[in-house]
């Protein structure tokens, strides 16, 4: 195999030899090569500092790799600023703290995701009927149609995270990345959020990549688990193959407490 990323028919994204060294010299990812296929929910597991957020941000090119190549379906190897912009437009990101604007309605927050598809001129005119329809449909998919006009700061944490998912869906993404989306939610809200992410992944046939600290949720919802430790992939496989040995590779001595 030569030194660049390759895509199979079902792969949406392919990384080859990706390394990330931050300006302060921290090596956060070592020589990472992997592919992400449509319709597959991947959970990234690993102790704090393992490189999960770095890998997610690199998949979106928010963090630029120090070396290696990334290839996206329909765009090829991401090289130019235009390719990277197009890739970001196709990639939705969901965060632990949802990053919603509290004083705006759920619908308004969801529509914000369309701004990347507007020219400066058209964004002054406003959103089209089709975009409003799409935003309402997305809120409906996450069970929040009736909350469309409610201010986000009066919604519960779980509801706010579902608005975050509706915002991601309204972007019409080819790829969804979620960095610890259930970290501050109770078990019932966490299950609801993970069920929605899994359904979106299956129904829309797109890859969904989620970082989690909760092993039980990873096992329950993932099609594939990638275990990171010290910036390296030390496990990559379906949840049923995540043995105690694999957990030890990922978490080391912490494995017993995280199991």
Ligand X SMILES: Nc1ncnc2c1ncn2[C@@H]1O[C@H](COP(=O)(O)OP(=O)(O)OP(=O)(O)O)[C@@H](O)[C@H]1O
Give me the residues that bind ligand X (CB under 6 A), please: 22, 24, 26, 28, 46, 48-54
State which residue, 60 or 170, has the beta carbon closest to ligand X: 60
Structural contact between residues 8 and 73, judged by C-beta atoms closer than 8 angstroms: no
Helix 129-141 and helix 157-170: axis angle, to 10°? 140
- Give yes or no for residue 53 binding Mg ion (CB under 5 A): yes
Residue 35 binding result from ligand X, Mg ion, none, given CB thresholds of 5 to 8 Å by partner type: none
Structural contact between residues 71 and 65, judged by C-beta atoms closer than 8 angstroms: no
Please choose, out of 46-54, 119-127, 155-163, 241-249, the segment that lies near Mg ion by the rule CB under 5 A. Answer: 46-54
State which residue, 44 or 163, has the beta carbon closest to ligand X: 44
State which residue, 29 or 110, has the beta carbon closest to ligand X: 29
Structural contact between residues 30 and 56, judged by C-beta atoms closer than 8 angstroms: no
Please choose, out of 36-44, 45-53, 98-106, 122-130, the segment that lies near Mg ion by the rule CB under 5 A. Answer: 45-53
State which residue, 13 or 56, has the beta carbon closest to ligand X: 56
Residue 147 binding result from ligand X, Mg ion, none, given CB thresholds of 5 to 8 Å by partner type: none
Number of residues that bind Mg ion (CB under 5 A): 2
Residue 49 binding result from Mg ion, ligand X, none, given CB thresholds of 5 to 8 Å by partner type: ligand X
Q: Where are the alpha helices (DSSP H) in 91-173?
A: 106-111, 120-125, 129-141, 157-170
Question: Least distance to Mg ion from the beta carbon of 209, Å?
Answer: 13
Q: What are phi and psi of 149, to 5 degrees?
A: -100, 10
DSSP 144: -
| Strands 208-211, 41-45: pairing kind | parallel
State which residue, 105 or 258, has the beta carbon closest to Mg ion: 258
Residue 109 binding result from ligand X, Mg ion, none, given CB thresholds of 5 to 8 Å by partner type: none
Query: Left if phi > 0, otherwise alpha if psi is -120 to 50, otherwise beta: which for 89?
Result: alpha
Task: Give residue for tokens 């990922």.
Answer: 250
- Residue number of the CB atom closest to Mg ion: 53
Question: Least distance to ligand X from the beta carbon of 254, Å?
Answer: 12
Question: Least distance to Mg ion from the beta carbon of 45, Å?
Answer: 11
Structural contact between residues 63 and 218, judged by C-beta atoms closer than 8 angstroms: no
State which residue, 49 or 239, has the beta carbon closest to ligand X: 49
Cα separation values, 132 from 92, 108, 145, 184, Å: 18, 9, 12, 29
Residue numbers at the binding site for Mg ion (CB under 5 A): 52-53
């Amino acid at each position: 195999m030569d030194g660049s990323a390759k895509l199979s028919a079902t792969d949406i994204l392919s990384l080859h030899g990706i390394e990330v060294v931050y300006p302060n010299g921290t090596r956060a990812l070592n020589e990472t090569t992997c592919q992400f296929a449509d319709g597959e929910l991947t959970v990234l597991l690993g102790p704090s500092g393992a490189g999960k957020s770095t890998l997610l941000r690199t998949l979106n090119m928010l963090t630029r790799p120090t070396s290696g190549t990334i290839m996206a379906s329909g765009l090829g190897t991401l090289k130019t600023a235009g390719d990277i912009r197009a890739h970001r437009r196709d990639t939705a990101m969901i965060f632990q703290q949802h990053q919603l604007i509290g004083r705006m309605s759920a619908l308004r927050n969801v529509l914000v995701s369309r701004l990347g598809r507007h020219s400066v001129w058209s964004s002054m005119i406003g959103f089209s009927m089709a975009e409003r329809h799409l935003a309402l449909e997305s809120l409906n998919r996450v069970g929040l149609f009736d909350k469309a006009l409610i201010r986000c700061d009066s919604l519960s944490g779980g509801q706010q995270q579902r608005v975050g998912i509706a915002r991601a869906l309204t972007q019409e993404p080819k790829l969804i990345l979620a960095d610890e989306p259930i970290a501050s939610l109770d078990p019932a809200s966490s299950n609801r959020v993970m069920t929605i992410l899994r359904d979106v992944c299956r129904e829309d046939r797109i890859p969904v990549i989620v970082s989690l600290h909760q092993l039980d949720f990873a096992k329950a919802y993932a099609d594939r688990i990638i275990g990171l430790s010290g910036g390296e992939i030390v496990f990559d496989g379906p949840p049923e193959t995540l043995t105690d040995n694999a957990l030890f590779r990922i978490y080391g001595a912490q494995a017993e407490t995280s199991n």
